[in-house]
Amino acid sequence: MTLTKAPQTKATPLLFEQSPRWVRAKVGDITVADSRRVLLVWEEDKVLPVYLFPREDVRTDLLRPSENPLPETHHGLASYWTLEIDGQLTENAAWTYAAAPPPEGEKLEGYIAFEWEAMDTWYEEEERVIAHPRDPYHRVDTRKSSRHVQVIAGGETLAESRRPKLVFETGLPTRYYLPPEDVQTDLLKPSETRTLCAYKGEAHYYSVMVDGEVHEDIAYTYPDPLPDNHQIRGLICFFNERADIHVDGERLERPTTQWS
C-alpha cells in the first residue's frame, strides 16, 4: 500500500492509508467503534499513527462537541468531541479532521479518531493491542549473537556476555538483551516503573546502586512479552542512554532518545 500525502495547506500535512485490519475500541463492555475499513493516519512530527474510523462504524450517539477543545494537539486540523457513557464524561476523547483533504475520494472529515487512553481496550481482529496502533512500517527484529557485550555504570561492571540477543527496532539504537546469568542481578533493585510497548509488551524496570549512587531505571525486562517477540522473555536490557556499553571492546556512544 502507498502512503498518500495530503496537499499542502495552512495546516500541517497528513499521511494516510487504508488498513486491512478489523479494529475495535471498547469502554467496559460497550463497543464505541467497530470497523473493517479503518484508515491509519500519520501527522507530521508525530511518530505513531492513529486509527480513523468511518462515522458509520462509530457510536456517534455517545459523542458531543467538547466544551474545552485542544486546538494545538493535532496541528489545528481537528475538532474535538466528548465521550459520554452512563453519565461519565471523557472530554476530548475523540476528534475529527475538519479541514483535511480526501483520500481516494472520501474526505477525512468522514472519519473519527479516538485518544488511546480514552478507551479501555483495543483489538485488531481477535487480539488485544496495547500502547498504540502498530505501524506497518515499523520492524522489531531479534537476532542471536556471539558479540562480547559489557555493561558498566559508575565504574562497576554490571554485566558481561558473549550470548546476547540483539534487537533491531526501527528508529531506535540497537538493544542488547542479556541472560540474567550474565548480569550481576544482586545489584539490581526492582523499580515500580512499568511501560507498555505495542510490539513487545509490558516492561519491568530495575535501578542500580553503585558506590552510593542510584542509577534509576537503568535496565528493564519483559517477563511476559507479546508472542511476536517471545525471544526476549526474561532477558535483561540496559539502556544505551544510561550506561556505558562496550561491544567487542568498543565503547558505544550514548544515543540521544526519549530515554536519555
| 4-129 and 140-251 have identical folds | yes
Question: What's the rounded mean pLDDT across residues 15-36?
Answer: 96
- Residue 85's Cβ-count burial label (10 Å; 0-12, 13-18, 19+) is middle
Which H or E run contains 13? Answer: none
CATH of 140-251 among 2.170.150.40, 2.60.40.420, 3.50.50.60, 3.40.228.10 = 2.170.150.40
Q: What is the spatial distance between Cα 18 and Cα 30, in angstroms, rounded to a whole number?
A: 25
C-alpha span between 12 and 226 (Å, rounded): 34
Q: How does DSSP classify residue 10?
A: S
- Provide the residue ranges of all domains of the chain, joining segments of one domain with +: 4-129, 140-251
Is the pLDDT score of 33 beyond 50? yes
Rg for the chain (alpha carbons), in Å?
Answer: 22
pLDDT at 110 over 50: yes
The more confident residue out of 17 and 260 is 17
Please provide the CATH number assigned to the domain covering 4-129: 2.170.150.40
Q: What is the pLDDT of residue 78?
A: 83
